[in-house]
Amino acid sequence: KPRIFSGIQPSGGLTLGNYLGALKRFVEKQDEGIETIYCLVDLHAITVWQDPERLRQQTREGAAAFIAAGIDPKRSILFNQSQVTAHAELGWIFNCIARMGWMSRMTQFKDKAGKNSENVSLGLFAYPSLMAADILAYHATMVPVGDDQKQHLELCRDIAIKFNNDYKVDFFPVVEPLIEGAATRVMSLRDGTKKMSKSDPSDQSRINLTDDADMIAQKIRKAKTDPEPLPETLEGLKDRPEAKNLVNIYAALAGMTPEAVVAEYAGAQFGTFKPKLAELSVAKLSPITTEMNRLMKDPAEIDRILGQGAERADAIAQPILAQVKDIVGMIRSR
Ligand code: ATP
Ligand code: MG
């Protein structure tokens, strides 16, 4: 029986990129009736410094965003990672399976560490092996993510295969990334070569789920573009990363293909297209923002939902972790 796992870091407020590349698709998968487990990955978030009070706030806000976007905590399991200890425990075992060389080829690590890799946390380096543990602790086989996580999912496969080979078992399944739709990689509004990220220092680079209508309109109006009008066909967006990004965002929000968007706006100037995009963004995001704000008035209720989700997640992960310990040769006598 297929099982889906995915997560989002409470490392800041959620962005339009997180919504289109991940959250919106989490909801679609839930609504298809697949067993879905979704997680606010706070252990991942602290691989870079997080102020404790803000981490708590961002975790609750993330949970509120999930629910506001359509995650039903009865149908999906929704929790924060640190409440289920199997993640950290299996993550350690995978640290002993994964190779330094594999990890050092991860582009997310290279991007986040920058030139100063001597001074980043060891956790940032080990991030992908914890991510493999997140997924494999549930024997999940399908993982909806944005395009930037493809390499980490390949590494997750490598870890599963090496574990199975090293211990001569057929225990961990092969994991499939689900990277689908028109917005698998939403780009920064300021730089068409960089992905939109919640941790980008520039707030102008992204649309946050908490931005109001004026802010969204202002950010889209100021978004970097070239001076050309929209082309007649998709071909004409080649080598125009900023223009392509706005078309892809429009397509994903409208539930259209990028081809259909280009056909509709062929020859239009950005002065025409941008206000339409802003209007569409506000129409799609403002109901989520309103519901998030309502949910955030009752943080105790959010914590209760996360706790109940964690209990259900734990009930799936513990027996799997127990089997892993048996396979590895660890005594379990209590
Ligand atoms: P951070 O900057 O802290 O890494 P982030 O915005 O990259 O934050 P993550 O929590 O790392 O968000 O990723 C959560 C999910 O959102 C992942 O599935 C990731 O692939 C997806 N995602 C992140 N950014 C984008 C983007 N720009 N376009 C599409 N999907 C994205
Ligand atoms: Mg990220």
Q: Counting atoms of ligand 1 from 1, which one is nearest the CA of 11?
A: 3
Please enumerate in sequence order all residues whose Cβ is within 8 A of that of 242, keeping only pairs 6 or more positions apart, or say none: 187, 192, 223, 224, 225, 226
- Cα–Cα nearest to 10, from 206, 210, 198: 198
**103 within 8 A of 97, measured Cβ to Cβ:** no
Look at residue 231 in the predicted model and tell me its pLDDT.
96
85 Cβ contact partners less than 8 Å away, ≥ 6 residues apart: 314
DSSP state of 185: S
Residue 97 has pLDDT above 90, yes or no: yes
Mutation test residue for ligand 1: of 5, 8, 54, 205, the one with most atoms within 8 Å of CB: 8
How far away, in angstroms, is 109 Cα from ligand 1 center?
14
Q: Selecting from 3.40.640.10, 2.60.40.1120, 3.40.50.620, 3.30.420.40, what CATH number does the domain 3-184+298-328 have?
A: 3.40.50.620
* DSSP per-residue codes, 75-92: TSEEEEGGGSTHHHHHHH
Q: What is the pLDDT of residue 328?
A: 98
Q: What is the pLDDT of residues 136-169, one digit of tens each?
A: 999 999 999 999 999 999 999 999 999 999 999 9
Q: Is 115 a catalytic residue?
A: no
Mean pLDDT score across all residues of the chain:
97
Selected catalytic residue, list 24, 29, 195, 274: 195
Dist. CA 319 → ligand 1 center (Å): 30
Residue 74 known to be catalytic: no
- Is the Cβ atom of 91 under 6 angstroms away from ligand 1? no
In contact, 54 and 93? CB cutoff 8 Å = no
Q: How many CB atoms are located within 10 Å of the residue 272 CB? A: 12
pLDDT, residue 212, reads: 95
Q: For residue 116, what pLDDT is reported?
A: 82
How many angstroms separate the alpha carbon of residue 6 from the centre of ligand 2? 13
Q: Is 194 a catalytic residue?
A: no
Residue 59 Cβ contacting ligand 1 at under 6 Å:
no
Task: Check if the beta carbon of residue 135 is closer than 8 Å to that of residue 188.
Answer: no
What is the model's pLDDT at position 209?
Answer: 97
Between the CA of 73 and the centroid of ligand 1 the distance, in Å, is 22
CATH number of 211-294: 1.10.240.10
At 98-141, the pLDDT tens digits run 999 999 999 999 999 998 889 999 999 999 999 999 999 999 99
Work out the percent of the chain whose per-residue pLDDT is above 90. Answer: 99
Residues paired with residue 177 on neighbouring β-strands, in sequence order: 143
- Tell me, using a 6 A CB cutoff, whether residue 188 lines ligand 1: no
What the block records as the tokens of 316 is 């799936």
Report which ligand 1 atom has the smallest distance to the Cα of 184. 29
- Which residue among 15, 18, 151 has the greatest number of ligand 1 atoms within 8 angstroms of its CB, and so is best to mutate? 18
Whether 17 lines ligand 1, by a CB cut-off of 6 Å, is yes
- For the chain, domain boundaries: 3-184+298-328, 211-294
